[in-house]
Amino acid sequence: MKVLVLEPAKCTGCRACMDACSFEKTDVFNPLDSRINVITFHEDLTFVPTVCSQCEIPYCAEVCPTSTLVKNTTTGLVDFLKEKCIGCKQCVVACPWGSIKMNHLGKEIIKCDQCSGDPACVKVCKAEALTYVDVEDMISSKQHGVAQAYRRIASEMQKGVNP
Amino acid sequence: MIDGGYQGTILRVNLTNRTVKEEALREDWAKKYIGGRGYGTRIIMAEVDPKVDPLAPENKVVIATGPLDGTTAPSSGRVMVITKGPLNNTIACSNAGGYFGPMLKRTGYDMIILEGKASEPVYLWINKGKVEFRDATHLWGKLVNESDQMMREETHLEAETMEIGPAGEKMSMIANVMFNGHRAAGRTGVGAVVGSKNLKGIVVRGNKGVSVADRDRFAEAVRSAREILAQNPVASGGMPLYGTAVLVNIINSTGSFPTRNAQDSFFPDADKISGETLRAQNLVRNEACSDCPIGCGRVTAIKEGKYKGEHGGGPEYEPLWAFGAMCGISDLNAITMANYLCDRYGLDAISAGGTVACAMELYERGYMPATDAPFPLKFGDPDALVESIRAMGEQKDAFGKLLAQGSYRLAEHYGHPELSMSVKKQEFPAYDPRGVKGIGLEYATSNRGACHVRGYSIAAEVLSPGLDRLVYEGKAAVTKFLQDLTAALDSSGACLFTTFGMQAKDLAQLYSAATGFECDEQEFLKIGERIWNMEKLFNLKSGLTGKDDTLPPRILHEPIVSGPSQGEVEDLGKMLGEYYSLRGWGEDSVPTKERLQELGIQDLS
Amino acid sequence: MKHVIIGASIAGMTAAAKIKQLSPEEDVTVLSAESIQPYGKMSLPYMLSGMTWFANCTLPPVAGVDVMLNKQVDRIDPGSKTVHTTDGEEFKYDKLLIATGTSPVIPDVPGAKLSSVVGVRNVGDIEVIRKRIEESSQKRVILSGAGLVNAEVGDALVKLGIPVTYVISSDRMLSQIVDREASAIIEKSLTGLDVELLKGEDITEIQEKGDALEVRLASGKVLMGACVVYGKGVRPNTSFLKGTGVQLNKGIVLGQYLETSIPDIYGAGDAVETDDVLLGEKTLHALWPVAIEQANIAAANMLGMETPYPGDVLRNILTVFGQTIFTGGLSTHDEGEVYRHASDGEYRKIAVKDGKLRGFVFVGEGAENPGVYLRMMKEKTDISSMIDPVLYGTVTHADLYPSVFKVAL
């Protein structure tokens, strides 16, 4: 299973992900219709991307009165079955992350579906703040990072350096 | 019928009457001039008398986007400011990155035409198609970073901003227009024109999307363009890693790095002010303009010394040079601070640095009496640099007022205009024509005065092995080609840096797919040439002549003293005639009827 | 253990599912007073407008749970732990959950009992309105009260092209959830629609006139309409609890574990009173997502897993007449420091006290990041340094975790 990994420290704030997402989904470039969002903090020029984390126990699905939102155990995604939606926005309120939202007209509910396994946002993220990787690879790369740190400490200790 | 790329509407704002009007974008002009720089210049040609006083209410300012703005076309968020410039009476046109361009487009307008003059300071709040004139009395006098924050707080935090600083308000000839608080449309004093209209800024927020004519073709063109840039070592290596500052060591190593007001062209301390040092010492992170995969922007902070705790954007390569080598200064923190101050006061960093360097030479040679200077103006003195910039920004005394007029007027004031390193009164940037011959032709012929980004021949002469930088042959053709390409590119909304990898055909492909106007490489370049000739016609009508296409005497006659280009001077005459003839211009630099006819603009002469 | 759940709406069905999920061996019976399969009542106005349909709103059956229809509970005997229904049946329980919801308040005026006078609470009520619109020679629908439900019902009818008249005793729409300024914006958005707004009025008498209704108002004014829809508030369904000793206020008063004052009897959903984090006292929330959370927690407690209920806050989000209205906390009146922003038909207000968000009203095209607002209120986040982002709706969850991006610096 693949996951969308966000690394805010790498984000350059170019917002190409937002343009690419809206174009993929609506054929029009409009960041307000993007499923992924980049927040800019002007005071210190920091950029934080946010997107649906496809929760294991999704609040949005729980409050949906028409079972429009369903956790898909095969793909790991929270599916949005558009034709069943009545637009009551309970999911929008329930999501504590703001990752399920209304489109720019305030009419339609939109959320990330990872473009059925080929996310448009990742393709334009040159800074690699967004990556789409196998969950195993993500974990093993984390483990690798930790192991590297241990290795460095161990070698310094051998040299008699107090880390 | 316009199918995509454009929103189709231009907003006309009359500041005198406080009225606004929506006008349809002209399809014929869109086809002929694309948008941005080209279309904006066409508007100025149609509506502004070339003889007008640039600071009079009769002058107009066009804030323009191109058809690629707001799309995923790489580095496509440029915004153009076009007006008649006060620094040198040319067609002034300056552009900036950031996010204003795409957001302006999402308000539903491709361009804004500003005309007249407000009776009191105002700023414009364009929110989802509604335009408000807002009082800006409380913002007048505020630094760019302050007014930027205040305007966003008063309107919408996710809005995008354009603003001038105190320099623009006081109509400094080298005032810029700032975007997002730290992106500059730097050159030609466009900020003074906005200031003369009592307009502090424009805040935009919109919800309209940008469509393209052929969805699949555009998606493929974007994919291909991004791939080209990803494969390019400069665009995906040097630029993201070190920003434009990567050039410091490169250019200095060719001995073409004007030093101490170009008295030399090799700076032994270059590495102290290089991109590599900047990265190690001050870089916080990279920042990219809208949809840019290159991300050359630097978010920096000063971490020690007397300016510790200050933070902001940049410095880019040009300011590093202008405040560094040009002033003989190797203190990176002072240079960074000078850059922050330029952004805050709204001053063009290239011209500001060139002006301080000029002042330093005037002072050291005794042409500027010590009594005129509030402190000793010695090359290499970081405090003198920072305080000079402050004086220039605040214009509280005669010294500051004089420096704020740029190096040419400063040097002229002391009877030595030859010490201004400028062409058409505009300070030249960070490449010495004595060591890179072609760039001298570009400085001399650029339609807005000395400039490197109208035909960036450095790319061909230094960055990629192709042309020998010290020969004259072939430089005229390269310069013309690049000038034409850049004019079209600037009109499309794309950034010049895309040309590290992308070619005219790639840009033409993006443009055609976005707008539905079929355009190949040849046609794209022809549009660029058309724009170039139109700009030239404006300048001729404004009173400039072929005599203005020259370089500072120092560059033409004083050999470089040390370094790899030691002994070199620039012989402009070896290129200028060939250039005019390639352009189809007479020896007096006036475009021939035939060439104008070929380009379809005979009516403009 | 034998669990009996009274009520088959979202609270009852969520609790049933949760009990089965946590402990599949449990015996769970749900008693429904209705004669049809359980469904989500929140969707009723959307069913009226035709945006959705009954089959789309049914609550999924829970494997192993018996849902018994047509079981109107008559009384409960806590001593013998028995539930009696009106048809004479008895159900023994070890744990009992009351999730009976509410009924619309219909004042006792002459004619109030007519079949074409309804309050929207069941699918049947929607059917009545539909049928009357179709059959009556009058198309106009008279809505008494302009609260949440009637605002949505009116919006649904307007979408169907049916003219409506609001008869409201107060002087503005949605006075229970928004302030005066917001009401004005919502009322302004009625311009151009076939909506009549009669303020400071009350229905005093309703009479059948052929296939239509003649409605007499306090002022003497007479209206003709197809039917009358009451939306003047709701009352928890608790009459069957009389004499049981279950503590009642406006609704069933619950403790920290969602237990009633009588052992082994729990409550969840619109009929119960629980802690409000902002008010610091118990109140009726009567909100769909609150019912879900209460049901999940009550289910855990019924299984002996002690799970305290953290309390909740009042909030509403709805789109009517083209305006999206998002409110939370103390939204009808001002408290503490109040910040307002109004422009171009957009209205934003937040009330802040001691640095904490106490309430907000947003009216306009859409609400940005509404979930963040609930979190800020529930977690009592100090927002004194981000008043503007909170007011203008640019605040995001990232603001609540400042450490995430400060690390990057």
Tell me the per-residue pLDDT of B284-301, one tens digit each, with 9 for 90 and over: 988 999 999 999 999 999
User: For residue C308, is it within any domain?
Assistant: no
Question: Is residue B408 located within the same domain as residue B328?
Answer: yes
CA distances from B419 to B238, B260, B428, B452, B572 (A): 34, 11, 12, 20, 18
Question: Is residue C223 located within the same domain as residue C240?
Answer: no
The C-alpha atoms of residue B551 and residue B432 are separated, in whole angstroms, by 11
User: For residue B4, is it within any domain?
Assistant: no
User: For residue B378, is it within any domain?
Assistant: yes
The C-alpha atoms of residue B95 and residue B37 are separated, in whole angstroms, by 9
The C-alpha atoms of residue B42 and residue B522 are separated, in whole angstroms, by 21
Question: Is residue B184 located within the same domain as residue B253?
Answer: no
Mapped onto helix, strand or coil, the DSSP state of residue A13 is coil
The C-alpha atoms of residue B426 and residue B538 are separated, in whole angstroms, by 17
The C-alpha atoms of residue B220 and residue B243 are separated, in whole angstroms, by 28
> Any CB–CB contact under 8 A between B284 and chain C?
yes
- A118 pLDDT exceeds 90? yes
Question: Is residue C263 located within the same domain as residue C218?
Answer: no
CB-CB under 8 Å, B72 with A20? yes
Q: Tokens for B201? A: 């800024």
Q: Is there a contact between B106 and B210 (Cβ–Cβ < 8 Å)?
A: yes
Task: Over range C100-129, report the average pLDDT.
Answer: 94
Question: Is residue B451 located within the same domain as residue B420?
Answer: no
User: For residue C110, is it within any domain?
Assistant: no
User: For residue C186, is it within any domain?
Assistant: yes
Question: Is residue B418 located within the same domain as residue B443?
Answer: no
CB-CB under 8 Å, B284 with C409? yes
User: For residue B174, is it within any domain?
Assistant: yes
- Of B205, B100, B117, B224, nearest in space to B157 by CA: B205
The C-alpha atoms of residue C266 and residue C255 are separated, in whole angstroms, by 9
- C74 pLDDT exceeds 50? yes
Q: Which of C277, C302, C327 is the last residue of a domain?
A: C302
Q: Which of B365, B394, B427 is the last residue of a domain?
A: B427
Q: Which of C10, C60, C371 minimises the CB distance to A96?
A: C371
Those residues with Cβ within 8 angstroms of residue A88's Cβ, 6 or more apart along the chain or in another chain: A65, C42, C43, C46, C317, C318
Those residues with Cβ within 8 angstroms of residue B374's Cβ, 6 or more apart along the chain or in another chain: B387, B391, B397, B399
- C168 pLDDT exceeds 90? yes
Please give the pLDDT value at position C369: 75
CB-CB under 8 Å, B158 with C394? yes
- Of C209, C38, C48, C194, nearest in space to C131 by CA: C48
User: For residue C382, is it within any domain?
Assistant: yes
Those residues with Cβ within 8 angstroms of residue A132's Cβ, 6 or more apart along the chain or in another chain: A2, A3, A4, A5, A114, A119, A122
User: For residue B255, is it within any domain?
Assistant: yes
The C-alpha atoms of residue A99 and residue A119 are separated, in whole angstroms, by 16
**What integer best gives the mean pLDDT of chain C?**
91
Q: What confidence tens digit (pLDDT) does each residue in B402-431 have? A: 999 999 999 999 999 999 999 999 999 999
User: For residue B304, is it within any domain?
Assistant: yes
Q: Tokens for B320? A: 């590093």
Question: Is residue B337 located within the same domain as residue B465?
Answer: no
- Total domains in chain C come to 3
Residue C317, strand partner residues: C326
The C-alpha atoms of residue C299 and residue B41 are separated, in whole angstroms, by 71
Question: Is residue C266 located within the same domain as residue C337?
Answer: no
Q: Tokens for A146? A: 């930790």
- Of A21, B307, A39, nearest in space to C404 by CA: A39
The C-alpha atoms of residue B245 and residue B442 are separated, in whole angstroms, by 21
Q: Which of C46, C398, C407 minimises the CB distance to A39?
A: C398
CB-CB under 8 Å, B71 with A23? yes
Task: Over range B26-42, report the average pLDDT.
Answer: 97
Secondary structure (DSSP) of C373-406: HHHHHHTT-B-GGGHHHHHHT---HHHH-HHHHH
Question: Is residue B295 located within the same domain as residue B364?
Answer: yes
Read off the amino acid at residue C384. S
- A114 pLDDT exceeds 90? yes
Please give the pLDDT value at position A163: 46
Asked if omega into C104 is within 30° of 0 (cis), the reply is no
Q: Which of B205, B228, B256 is the last residue of a domain?
A: B205
Question: Is residue B392 located within the same domain as residue B444?
Answer: no
Question: Is residue B375 located within the same domain as residue B420?
Answer: yes
Give the count of beta carbons closer than 10 Å to the beta carbon of residue C68. Answer: 14
The C-alpha atoms of residue B109 and residue B12 are separated, in whole angstroms, by 10
Q: Is there a contact between B209 and B487 (Cβ–Cβ < 8 Å)?
A: no
Question: Taking a contact as any Cβ pair under 8 Å apart, which residues of chain C between 28 and 47 contact chain A?
Answer: 40, 42-43, 46
Report chain A residues whose CB lies below 8 A from the CB of C396. 37, 39, 48, 50, 98
Mapped onto helix, strand or coil, the DSSP state of residue B332 is helix
Q: Can you say how many angstroms the Cα of residue B399 is from the centroid of all Cα atoms in its chain?
A: 26
Question: Is residue C137 located within the same domain as residue C224?
Answer: yes
Question: Taking a contact as any Cβ pair under 8 Å apart, which residues of chain B between 271 and 310 contact chain A?
Answer: 284-295, 297, 299
Question: Is residue C95 located within the same domain as residue C123?
Answer: no
Query: What's C345's domain CATH number?
Result: 3.30.390.30
User: For residue B215, is it within any domain?
Assistant: no
Question: Is residue B465 located within the same domain as residue B405?
Answer: no
CB-CB under 8 Å, B72 with A16? yes
Question: Is residue C240 located within the same domain as residue C219?
Answer: no
User: For residue B361, is it within any domain?
Assistant: yes
CB-neighbour burial class of residue B231 (10 A; exposed 0-12, middle 13-18, buried 19+): exposed
Domain that residue C82 falls in: 2-42+56-103+235-302
Residue of A nearest to C9 (CA): A65
CA distances from B337 to A144, B148, B333, B382 (A): 40, 19, 6, 10
Please give the pLDDT value at position C408: 34
CB-neighbour burial class of residue B152 (10 A; exposed 0-12, middle 13-18, buried 19+): buried
The C-alpha atoms of residue B330 and residue C361 are separated, in whole angstroms, by 56
The C-alpha atoms of residue A109 and residue A82 are separated, in whole angstroms, by 8
Q: Which of C170, C198, C230 is the last residue of a domain?
A: C230
Q: Tokens for C297? A: 């927690």
Q: Which of C214, C230, C246 is the last residue of a domain?
A: C230
The C-alpha atoms of residue C155 and residue C169 are separated, in whole angstroms, by 20
Question: Taking a contact as any Cβ pair under 8 Å apart, which residues of chain C between 384 and 403 contact chain B?
Answer: 388-389, 392, 394
Query: What's B336's domain CATH number?
Result: 1.10.569.10
Q: Is there a contact between C282 and C275 (Cβ–Cβ < 8 Å)?
A: yes
User: For residue C217, is it within any domain?
Assistant: yes
Query: What's B29's domain CATH number?
Result: 3.60.9.10
Q: What confidence tens digit (pLDDT) does each residue in B535-552 have? A: 999 999 999 999 999 999
Residue of A nearest to C397 (CA): A97
Strands, E, within B175-302: which ranges? 177-179, 183-185, 199-205, 210-211, 283-287, 297-301
CA distances from B377 to A96, B276, B339, B386 (A): 59, 29, 18, 11
The C-alpha atoms of residue B22 and residue B25 are separated, in whole angstroms, by 9
Q: Which of C324, C365, C408 minimises the CB distance to A9?
A: C408
User: For residue C310, is it within any domain?
Assistant: no
Q: Is there a contact between B218 and B70 (Cβ–Cβ < 8 Å)?
A: no
Helix or strand holding residue B439 (H, E): helix B437-445
CB-CB under 8 Å, A126 with B285? no
ipTM of the complex: 0.88
Query: What's B563's domain CATH number?
Result: 1.10.599.10
Question: Is residue C197 located within the same domain as residue C259?
Answer: no
Q: Which residue has the tokens 């002034």?
A: B92
Q: Which chains touch A (3 or more CB pairs under 8 A)?
A: B, C
Question: Is residue C218 located within the same domain as residue C149?
Answer: yes
> How many CB pairs lie under 8 A apart between chains A and B?
95
Read off the amino acid at residue B459. A
Query: What's C276's domain CATH number?
Result: 3.50.50.60
**What integer best gives the mean pLDDT of chain B?**
95
Q: Which of C365, C392, C409 minimises the CB distance to B156?
A: C392
Question: Is residue C21 located within the same domain as residue C99?
Answer: yes
Please give the pLDDT value at position A45: 81
Residue of A nearest to B290 (CA): A14
Please give the pLDDT value at position C366: 62
Residue of C nearest to B159 (CA): C394
Q: What confidence tens digit (pLDDT) does each residue in B187-234 have? A: 999 999 999 999 999 999 999 999 999 999 999 999 999 999 999 988
CB-CB under 8 Å, A44 with C409? yes
Give the count of beta carbons closer than 10 Å to the beta carbon of residue B501. Answer: 21
Residue of A nearest to B214 (CA): A27
Question: Is residue B175 located within the same domain as residue B52?
Answer: yes
- Total domains in chain B come to 3
Q: Is there a contact between C117 and C125 (Cβ–Cβ < 8 Å)?
A: no
Q: Tokens for B135? A: 């009082």
Q: Tokens for B230? A: 């990803």
Q: What confidence tens digit (pLDDT) does each residue in B361-412 have? A: 999 999 999 999 999 999 999 999 999 999 999 999 999 999 999 999 999 9
- C409 pLDDT exceeds 50? no
Query: What phi and psi, each to the nearest 5 degrees, are found at residue B192?
Result: -65, -35
Domain that residue B380 falls in: 245-427
Q: Which chains touch B (3 or more CB pairs under 8 A)?
A: A, C
Q: Which of B392, B427, B462 is the last residue of a domain?
A: B427
User: For residue C264, is it within any domain?
Assistant: yes
With bands split at pLDDT 50, 70 and 90, how would you rate the model's confidence at C406?
A: very low
User: For residue B444, is it within any domain?
Assistant: yes
- C397 pLDDT exceeds 80? no
Question: Is residue C376 located within the same domain as residue C344?
Answer: yes
Q: Which residues of C85-113 are buried (b: 16+ CB within 10 A; e: fewer)?
A: beeeeebebebbbbbbbbbbebeebebee
CB-CB under 8 Å, A89 with C405? no
Question: Is residue B515 located within the same domain as residue B390?
Answer: no
Strands, E, within B272-395: which ranges? 283-287, 297-301, 311-313
Question: Is residue C253 located within the same domain as residue C215?
Answer: no
User: For residue C109, is it within any domain?
Assistant: no
Question: Is residue B404 located within the same domain as residue B287?
Answer: yes
Percentage of chain C modeled with pLDDT above 70: 96
With bands split at pLDDT 50, 70 and 90, how would you rate the model's confidence at A154?
A: confident
Task: Over range C346-367, report the average pLDDT.
Answer: 88
Question: Is residue C123 located within the same domain as residue C226?
Answer: yes
Mapped onto helix, strand or coil, the DSSP state of residue C232 is coil
Query: What phi and psi, each to the nearest 5 degrees, are found at residue A117?
Result: 95, 5
Q: Is there a contact between C39 and C64 (Cβ–Cβ < 8 Å)?
A: no
Q: Which of B72, B149, B288 minimises the CB distance to A29?
A: B72
Q: Which residue has the tokens 């502090």?
A: B200
With bands split at pLDDT 50, 70 and 90, how would you rate the model's confidence at A152?
A: confident
Q: Which of B148, B293, B299 minimises the CB distance to A45?
A: B299
